[in-house]
Amino acid sequence: MIERLHTGQRMSKIVKHNGTVYLCGQVGNADDSVAEQTAECLRRVDTLLAEAGSSRAQILQAIVWVADMSDFAEMNAVWDAWVPEGHAPARACGEAKLARPELKVEVIITAAYD
């Protein structure tokens, strides 16, 4: 069975299937710093994971997009403090144009749930 939460015409914020939860891309508040946007993305991830019955310790894969790779270290400083020790997911990070020019970071998460 597939369960979709917070579904609109274009996407669902959460999709659950067969013990796996998929989150849509999360962004921070426009015009904030890279660190602030990253922290906000991860707060939103925490909220959605909790709603789905999961947590950051159950993340399987993360895809992180940054608008400019020169911001990689700043984003990673926030990321590294957020990931629970011993629970680092498989992760990819790349540079991409995001939906709006003032956005600097987008995080996409796949996790297990109970």
Domain containing residue 21: CATH number: 3.30.1330.40
pLDDT (tens digit, 9 = 90+) per residue, 75-99? 999 999 999 999 999 999 999 999 9
The residue range of the domain holding 61 is 2-112
Q: What is the pTM of this model?
A: 0.95
Domain count along the chain: 1
Dihedral sign for Cα atoms in the order 73, 88, 98, 7: negative
**Mean pLDDT of the 40-61 span:** 98
Percent of the chain beyond pLDDT 90? 98
